[in-house]
Chain A
Amino acid sequence: MRLRSIYTDRIASRLMVIMLIAILCMPLVIAAGLFYKASPLLSSSSLWELIAGSAWAPTRGVFGFRPFIAGSLYVTLFAFLFASPVCLLAALYLTQFARARLVKILHPVIDILAGLPSVIYGVWGILVVVPLISFLAEDWFGVQTTGYSILAGGVVLAVMCIPYMLNMLIEVFRTVPAGLKEAALSVGATHWETVKHIVIRKSLPGIFSAFGLSIAKAFGETIAVMMVVGNSIGFSLNPLQPGYPLPALIANNYGEMLSIPMYDAALMFAALLLLVIILVINLVFRFIIYRTQLR
């Protein structure tokens, strides 16, 4: 009986550690798989040509990803500009000002927002954001546009990022020791002054990381952005113009990629690029969070 439980333990422990290692190796396997598919493209043109080139002609075998990378960055920038002030203020309210009863009402709201699928955000974008932008652009600037634009992508992406960023910020503000706040209050600071000088200053690295991780998340978001951003090649600085982010490029062209030579390699290269960028951002900012938590 005793022997049997020792043997079960050995076998089960082996299996468990194998599962864990397999899961941790997943990013490497994914990167290797994508690299393998992208390698024909990498051997025919240099990495720099691919990233910095702006010509896009799949039928001629010319692939320059610059407009797509720029489109992704631009949409992400708008999303960040819209989402970060809202999240910062809301997180401060929920952790510093609000009564427990209000927090209890708002927490499920954040959870549901975080759980809504991206298609739903995309549908909402098409129903509300796109027509609104089209209307306002004509009303305020006299510009005729369909509304399918970088700006619409940024707004939808911002709303999608809010629950994610907010949850991290709440976590960050919660770790500020109560003693520090009490010290500030006891020397006569008002509530807001305590928040401004103690809470925010103490959590700066955490805020910084939460922003970074949200940017990484926004960068890889696909369906919702693709539904409202217009998807036309060619980059312009005008946010009312349509754009074409990197994830949308992959999702939009999977149908035809097997019929044109090198096209599949190019799309897999795009996925690899996305993976590497996002993984690096994640590793860096998560590291900052862990460092501050350990201290």
Chain B
Amino acid sequence: MKKRKLLEERFFRYLTGAAAWSLMAILLLIIGVIFYRGFNALTPDMILRLPKGGFYYGGEGGVLNAIVGSLYIAGGATLLAILAGFPAALFINVHLIRFTRTRNFIRYLLDALWGIPSIVYGAFGFTLMLLMGMQASLLAGIITVALLIIPIMVRTFDEVLSTIPRGLPEAAFALGSTNTQTAFRVIFRQGMPGFITAVLLSFGRGIGDAASVLFTAGYTDRIPVNLDEPAATLPLAIFFQLGSPIPEVRDRAFASAIILTVIILIISIISRAIGHKFK
């Protein structure tokens, strides 16, 4: 009887351990395979040059247009999302601090919003674009991605703000400061690391999302200089190049995948470093 218990204990300890460590294996496998396949095609040209004529048939050039386009779209969308999401998150944690039930209800709705898939945002952005008589453009892409990342931004920022001890805003109120002063001078300063994490997380999500820009941002070989011009994005560059039957072009898709992965890893490392610094 005792022996069976011991055996069961051991068995499940190893089984659960194996499941946990398999995650590490999966991550290494994904990154390893992509680096292995894409490394040969990853030349300085890939990062530093625009596609030249016949690029999609194996000609010269790089995916600079997609890198810059992605940064533009993710950057613009993050900016819009900050404008909309940052006041909303502060409002939940300052003005509504006495109304726990309302706060919980709002968080409940925001969490549900987070679950809406990006393709739905893409389709909605497309509808909006047609309604306003716009073409597929940088602006349409930015708006759609902004809608997608707003719930992420608000909820992440809110999560950090909600850990601020209640005595802090109470002290500010007791000294006679208004709600707005408390929000921007006290709570925001205290929640700064959370704000940076939320921004970086949203930026990363914006740069990697393909389904929302598929309809709205279009694709072009140039770097857009105006908001009404179409813009290429890195995920779509990978997706389109993979559709080619030519091996060189497919190799370049893998090289583009390395670029995207590295960008995401850098964002992740920065946000981790900031998190540690403020702890």
Residues from chain B with Cβ under 8 Å of A240 in the complex: none
Within 8 A of B (CB), among A2-56: 5-6, 8-9, 12-13, 15-17, 19-20, 22-24, 26-27, 30, 33-34, 36-37
A151 at interface (Cβ–Cβ under 8 A)? Answer: no
A100–B181 Cα distance when bound, in Å, is: 40
Find B210's partner among A24, A117, A128, A159 (CB 8 Å cutoff). A117
Interface size class of B (residues with CB under 8 A): 35 or more
B26 at interface (Cβ–Cβ under 8 A)? Answer: yes
Q: Say yes or no: B238 contacts A123, CB within 8 Å.
A: yes
Q: Say yes or no: B16 contacts A223, CB within 8 Å.
A: no
B47 at interface (Cβ–Cβ under 8 A)? Answer: no
Known: A24-B109, A108-B272, A117-B208. A254 touches B120 (CB 8 A): no
Cβ of A213 to closest chain B Cβ, rounded Å: 7
Residues from chain A with Cβ under 8 Å of B12 in the complex: 192, 195
Q: Say yes or no: B151 contacts A127, CB within 8 Å.
A: no
Q: Say yes or no: B15 contacts A89, CB within 8 Å.
A: yes
A115–B238 Cα distance when bound, in Å, is: 17
Q: Say yes or no: B111 contacts A282, CB within 8 Å.
A: yes
Please encode chain B, from 56 to 98, with 1 for each CB lying within 8 Å of some chain A CB and 0 for all others: 0000000000000000000000000000110110111001000
Residues from chain B with Cβ under 8 Å of A109 in the complex: 23-24, 27
The stretch that binds B, out of A59-67, A138-146, A178-186, A271-279, is A271-279
Residues from chain B with Cβ under 8 Å of A16 in the complex: 87-88, 90-91, 95, 183
Residues from chain B with Cβ under 8 Å of A5 in the complex: 178, 180-181
Find B268's partner among A12, A23, A111, A250 (CB 8 Å cutoff). A111
Please encode chain A, from 118 to 154, with 1 for each CB lying within 8 Å of some chain B CB and 0 for all others: 1111111011100000000000000000000000000
Please encode chain B, from 20 to 36, with 1 for each CB lying within 8 Å of some chain A CB and 0 for all others: 11111011011001100
A13–B235 Cα distance when bound, in Å, is: 39
A7–B265 Cα distance when bound, in Å, is: 45
Q: Say yes or no: A278 contacts B209, CB within 8 Å.
A: no
A105–B24 Cα distance when bound, in Å, is: 9
A161 at interface (Cβ–Cβ under 8 A)? Answer: no
Q: Say yes or no: A222 contacts B117, CB within 8 Å.
A: yes
Residues from chain B with Cβ under 8 Å of A12 in the complex: 87, 180, 183-184
Cβ of B90 to closest chain A Cβ, rounded Å: 7
Contact sample, A vs B, 21 pairs, CB 8 Å cutoff = A33-B127, A33-B128, A86-B19, A89-B19, A90-B19, A96-B16, A112-B265, A116-B264, A117-B207, A117-B210, A118-B210, A122-B239, A126-B242, A162-B26, A191-B13, A213-B115, A221-B117, A247-B119, A271-B119, A286-B111, A294-B104
A88–B200 Cα distance when bound, in Å, is: 29
Interface size class of A (residues with CB under 8 A): 35 or more
With A34-B120, A93-B17, A216-B115 already in contact, 4 other A-B pairs whose C-beta atoms are closer than 8 Å: A8-B178, A34-B123, A274-B117, A278-B117
Q: Say yes or no: B20 contacts A94, CB within 8 Å.
A: yes
The stretch that binds A, out of B160-168, B224-232, B254-262, is B254-262
List A residues at the B interface (Cβ < 8 Å): 5-6, 8-9, 12-13, 15-17, 19-20, 22-24, 26-27, 30, 33-34, 36-37, 85-90, 92-94, 96-98, 102, 105-106, 108-113, 115-124, 126-128, 159, 162-163, 166, 190-193, 195, 213, 216-217, 219-223, 227, 247, 250-251, 254, 267-268, 271, 274-275, 278-279, 281-283, 286-287, 290, 294
| Nearest A-chain residue to B153, judged by Cβ | A23
List B residues at the A interface (Cβ < 8 Å): 5-6, 8-9, 12-13, 15-24, 26-27, 29-30, 33-34, 37, 84-85, 87-88, 90-92, 95, 104, 106, 108-113, 115-124, 126-128, 131, 147, 150-151, 154, 178-181, 183-184, 201, 204-205, 207-211, 214-215, 235, 238-239, 242, 253-254, 257, 260-261, 264-265, 267-268, 272
Q: Say yes or no: B87 contacts A282, CB within 8 Å.
A: no
Known: A13-B179, A222-B119, A282-B115. A113 touches B23 (CB 8 A): yes
Cβ of B172 to closest chain A Cβ, rounded Å: 13
Q: Say yes or no: A268 contacts B123, CB within 8 Å.
A: yes
| Nearest A-chain residue to B87, judged by Cβ | A16
What 7 pairs across the A-B complex have the smallest Cβ distances?
A: A220-B117, A117-B208, A89-B19, A93-B16, A271-B123, A9-B178, A16-B91
| Nearest B-chain residue to A283, judged by Cβ | B112
A235–B92 Cα distance when bound, in Å, is: 47
| Nearest A-chain residue to B105, judged by Cβ | A290
